[in-house]
Structure 1
Amino acid sequence: MKTRAIIAVAALALGLTACRSQDGTTAAAPNADGTTDVKIMVGGVEKVIYLPAKLTEQLGYFKDQGLNVQILTEPAGATAENSLISGDVNGVVGFYDHTIDLQTKGKCITSVVQMADVPGEAEVVATRNADSVKSPTDFKGRKLGFTSPGSSTDFLTQYLATKNGVATSEYTGVKAGAGQTFIAAIDNGGIDAGMTTDPTIAQLVDSGKAKVMLDMRTEQGTRAALGGLYPASALYMDCAFVQQHKEVVQKLANALVKTLGYINTHSAADIAAKMPPDFAGGNQALYVKSINDSKGMFNTDGRMKADGAKNVLEVLSQFSPNVKGKKDTVDLTKTYTDEFVTKVQ
């Protein structure tokens, strides 16, 4: 029996090892029926900014491509990227800016489908503070919420503060999460203002608990706040994986770009009806509104706008401890590729 147990453990270890390439990346697992298993981590699957990932699954577009996609979720992009770096997943649906940040740490991560040209986020302020916190110039001495340290909401909060003359040491950053934890932080005074996404924005505004101070769900609002486009929601993957599994990446691109087309040609109500019922949190009308308020952020072809990528680097180079002083060493051509989305038919 002991010998059998040893053999079983050895076989399990061999099987787990076989799932990793020599460079440590997770291999996409082919099946006997010709389909391929793929794992994708989403930095908050219920967030409207990452809606294309779950919607693609709901529409059956992954399966149409012969992919068995397992969608996992972490509450923030910073924790989602760790799953990719550790080799636990094949890709992440998160913010493009992580690819630049990670390159300065010696990691080659590339966006293969760029789904949005703007963050899809808003800086909201608790209604009780709306008269005293009217712009980022009023951040001094305030408690500002973001998803988690190192997240894109943290990056952008720092940028908005420093751009408007408030040093990062002059406000208190608070890990507020998203959804109900963010709403609770507004409620109990844990934060005075903060950066979040829909459907949290819609819930806060509808309840009268908060007001939108800066709206980066639109191109106009993003350019006003950040000085240009800020490509955000993307499917990004390890460069080595992309090179080794081009057929799989192409299929992922085919499915996601088809979904972007669906979003562009269907109403928010149609889209909401395709999503899991629990995503609406018991208020379908408010969920439809949250999608309607944000769906304009998504592009239709999955391509990166080069000037947008340059602006992201510009923003990060001004305050990110990892990117500051290294702007000239960053090779943007390695942080994204349009190779696959241009081949989508």
Structure 2
Amino acid sequence: MKTPLLRLSLIAAALALGGTLPAQAADANTVTIMVGGINKIIYLPAKLTEALGYFKDEGLNVELQSQPAGVDAENQLIAGAVQGVVGFYDHTIDLQAKGKEVEAIAVFGKVPGEVEMVSTKAAPTFKSMADAKGKTLGVTGLGSSTDFLTRYLALRQGVESKEYSLLPVGAGNSFIAAIKQDRIQAGMTTEPTVSQLLKTGDAQVLVDMRTEEGTKAALGGLYPAPSLYVSNAWAESHKEQATKLAHAFAKTMQYLHTHSAEEIADKMPRDYYGNDKAMYVAAIKSSLPMFTTDGRMPEGGPETVLKVLSTFKPQVKAKNIDLSKTYTNAYLPAAK
């Protein structure tokens, strides 16, 4: 029997030689989902759905796994090691440009929920992304959505990628350490890391994409991001499981808009907030407006994402991308 590591290596090698995205069959109603940082509030619906029992209500046995960066979760899906990923929708477009078809079947966020934070030390001379020249900027991983967005924000301010450095620093404590140690002068992260840095005074907000207003100002439109995506082939051959997953997440999105931040925090594991539950509750409260109410793709969102990616990724061009294959509302409950 091949070890999981060897199996992944063999699949990765096959893909490098032009193989196709495998549609690994799960056991009946058993699904493994990789989350690009399970304790990030932007991906809170994953753990919350489990905590609320909605997966079980649908007759599903769902195993949630976590990788600190979305690009690593994406690689697990491509390798066939998991059936789904909770990550950023933009990966579906980027992957289609590489010949891999994946689609979002439930969208959690109308906006990225990401914040470009600048260290307090660098802040006096780093007042906008136009000041990124010569700086080191933190991202969760190279090729991640934070990588995509950072490069776009800089380019929009006239700063080319060769004029600054990107450093993969992960999220949470590793991101905070990079800021404190001045290994990065600014970087992109999410809640609750944003609130932690603001509380300690180690960093300040430079670009805020937690709200629709802030996202439209930064990116020119809504940028649907946190979502559940699967391979198109898997969804087609496992329609029942795909539908059950989408329905479970749709119920969670309704829960988020009908319960308080305190009630939501009470459902989450204690290690998500440690000894500062009040800060965690505040972070959830500030993030709630970003979430969709029903898991559906917001109108116009895919076009904004395509515009952003095509700005700096030569292989991503509108004429070569079929957006209708990057998401679907078909597995969700009928719109009310």
Task: Compute the TM-score of the two structures, normalised by the length of structure 1.
Answer: 0.90
Alignment of 1:1-345 (within 5 A): 24-30=22-28, 36-323=29-316, 326-343=317-334
TM-aligned CA deviation for residue 344 of structure 1: 7.5
SS class of match (1:131): helix
2-side partners of 1:49 and 1:317: how far apart?
24
Gaps in structure 2 of 5+ consecutive residues: 12-19
Check conservation: 1:253, 1:344, Cα contact below 8 A. no
Coordinate RMSD, CA, aligned: 1.9
SS class of match (1:265): coil
1-side partners of 2:300 and 2:335: how far apart?
23
Task: Give runs of ≥4 in structure 1 deviating > 2 Å.
Answer: 342-345
Check conservation: 1:125, 1:193, Cα contact below 8 A. yes
TM-aligned CA deviation for residue 327 of structure 1: 2.3
1-side partners of 2:128 and 2:90: how far apart?
24
Check conservation: 1:49, 1:197, Cα contact below 8 A. yes
SS class of match (1:191): coil
| Structure 1 counterpart of 2:318, one-letter code | K
2-side partners of 1:38 and 1:275: how far apart?
21
2-side partners of 1:83 and 1:95: how far apart?
14
Number of corresponding residues: 323
2-side partners of 1:344 and 1:68: how far apart?
26
Q: 1:343 to 1:248 in 2, by over 3 A?
A: farther
Give CA deviations for 1:201-238 in whole Å, capped at 9, x if unaligned.
01000111011111100000000000111010010000
1-side partners of 2:82 and 2:334: how far apart?
24
Return the index of the structure with the highest Cα Rg.
Answer: 1
TM-aligned CA deviation for residue 23 of structure 1: 7.2
TM-aligned CA deviation for residue 322 of structure 1: 3.4
1-side partners of 2:335 and 2:237: how far apart?
19
Check conservation: 1:114, 1:231, Cα contact below 8 A. yes
SS class of match (1:40): strand
Deviates more, 1:285-294 or 1:38-47: 285-294
1-side partners of 2:334 and 2:132: how far apart?
45
Check conservation: 1:257, 1:344, Cα contact below 8 A. no
Give CA deviations for 1:174-222 in whole Å, capped at 9, x if unaligned.
1111000000000000000110001110100011101111110000000
| Structure 1 counterpart of 2:23, one-letter code | T
Give CA deviations for 1:57-88 in whole Å, capped at 9, x if unaligned.
00100000100100000011100000000100
Task: Compute the TM-score of the two structures, normalised by the length of structure 2.
Answer: 0.93
TM-aligned CA deviation for residue 321 of structure 1: 4.2
TM-aligned CA deviation for residue 305 of structure 1: 2.1
